[in-house]
Amino acid sequence: MGDRLKGKIALVFGAGSSGPGWGNGKAAAALYAREGAQVFAVDLRAEAARETQRVIEEEGGQCTALTADVTDSAQILAAVDAVLASAGRIDVLHNNVGITEMGDPIAASEESWRRVIDTNLTSVFLTCKHVLPAMLAQGAGSIVNISSLASIQVNTYPYTSYYAAKAGLNHLTRSLAVRYAPHNIRVNAVLPGVIDTPLIYTQIAGQFGDVEEMRQRRNAASPMGRMGDAWDVAHAALFLASDEAKYITGVCLPVDGGKACAGR
């Protein structure tokens, strides 16, 4: 256990894993707790939030499981109110919720487009809408948005809506950083590259012949010759959330093994 977030209150949206193992949100929530934060783990699925809570508590950390649909403003507000009623403040807002749906503008339905934009981008607008007043009142805060390398680099997957949503998230991050910098509220983003998490097996594997082909091709896409994992993303988020990054805001940080530099 460390103390990089000692005494901090961390609200993590998308804190459950989409399947067995460690997703980005689950790892971030666990790492925040290991570093001393009191974590409020929010997920659409109650059982996923409770699993994250169980893991954290078994390690001796503090965690409360909550449920909310991040496309529903009222549910987000209810979660934020529950945190403020319990802890009195929110020091870290971590936005991890994201989905991919395949399809170019011809193949994708309008419903799919709206679902991806709402889940990946509008959700962050809504969580910030309801958390920023508390951060303004307390005179400090750190927001960490989990974007994607797909926000700045097109790959072989035809997920047009995901590219657009994550690119929008980057600029939303920068705009909020400038807007709230005078109030000691920092806003940054992490851009994961090819990461080996449960999500890729449910939402991306269908683009390949089989899972092993997916793994091989994703490993080869990184100059390091391997995918990263959820802990690589979580450690970057921890740094940005912590006071070690107290003079860093508006940054979109790739965690990608050099993939962005290589242009692959």
Cβ–Cβ contacts within 10 Å for residue 168, how many?
A: 18
Q: pLDDT (tens digit, 9 = 90+) per residue, 123-143?
A: 999 999 999 999 999 999 999
48 belongs to a structural domain: yes
Which band of pLDDT confidence, cut at 50, 70 and 90, is reported for residue 17?
confident
Task: Indicate whether 181 pLDDT > 70.
Answer: yes
Q: What is the mean pLDDT of residues 179-207?
A: 89
Q: Kindly report, residue by residue over 73-126, the tens digit of the pLDDT.
A: 999 999 999 999 999 999 999 999 999 999 999 999 999 999 999 999 999 999
Task: Decide if 162 is catalytic.
Answer: yes
Cα–Cα distance for residue pair 92/41, rounded to 1 Å: 12
The predicted pLDDT at position 29 comes to: 98
Q: Give domain status of residue 37, yes or no.
A: yes
pLDDT at 264: 67
Place of tokens 């929530």: 29
The residue with tokens 């809506």 is: 161
Res. 220: pLDDT tops 90: no
Determine the Cα–Cα distance for residues 14 and 185; give it in Å rounded to an integer. Answer: 21
Residue 96: predicted pLDDT: 97
Q: What is the pLDDT of residue 65?
A: 98
Percentage of the chain with pLDDT > 90? 84
Cα separation, 13 vs 97, whole angstroms: 6
Mean pLDDT score, 218-241: 94
Q: What is the pLDDT of residues 29-78, one digit of tens each?
A: 999 999 999 999 999 999 999 999 999 999 999 999 999 999 999 999 99
Domain presence at residue 3: no
Question: For the domain that residue 138 is a member of, what is the CATH number?
Answer: 3.40.50.720
pLDDT tops 90 at residue 203 = no
Look at the chain and report how many structural domains it folds into: 1
Query: Rounded CA gap, 71 and 241, in Å?
Result: 24
Per the structure block, which two tokens stand in for 68? 């909310």
Q: What is the pLDDT of residue 209?
A: 79
Does residue 211 form part of some domain? no
Whether 204 is in a domain gets the answer no
Question: Tokens 């705009």 map to which residue?
Answer: 175
pLDDT for res 92: 98
Tokens standing for residue 138:
């307390």
Domain that holds residue 41: 9-197+230-256
Instruction: Output the pLDDT for position 55.
Output: 97
Q: What is the DSSP string of the chain?
A: ---TTTT-EEEEET-S-SSSS--HHHHHHHHHHHTTPEEEEEESSHHHHHHHHHHHHHTT-EEEEEE--TT-HHHHHHHHHHHHHHHS--SEEEE-------B-TTTS-HHHHHHHHIIIIIHHHHHHHHHHHHHHHHT-EEEEEE--GGGT---SS-BHHHHHHHHHHHHHHHHHHHHHGGGTEEEEEEEE-SEE-HHHHHHTGGGSSSHHHHHHHHHHHSTTSS-EEHHHHHHHHHHHHSGGGTT--S-EEEESTTHHHHT-
Backbone angles phi, psi at 41, to 5 degrees: -100, 115
User: Is 178 domain-assigned?
Assistant: yes
The per-residue pLDDT of the chain, averaged, comes to 95
Catalytic residue among 162, 180, 201, 247: 162
104 falls within a domain: yes
Bigger pLDDT: 21 vs 175: 175
The whole-angstrom separation of Cα 238 and Cα 25 is 12
Residue 188 has pLDDT above 90, yes or no: yes
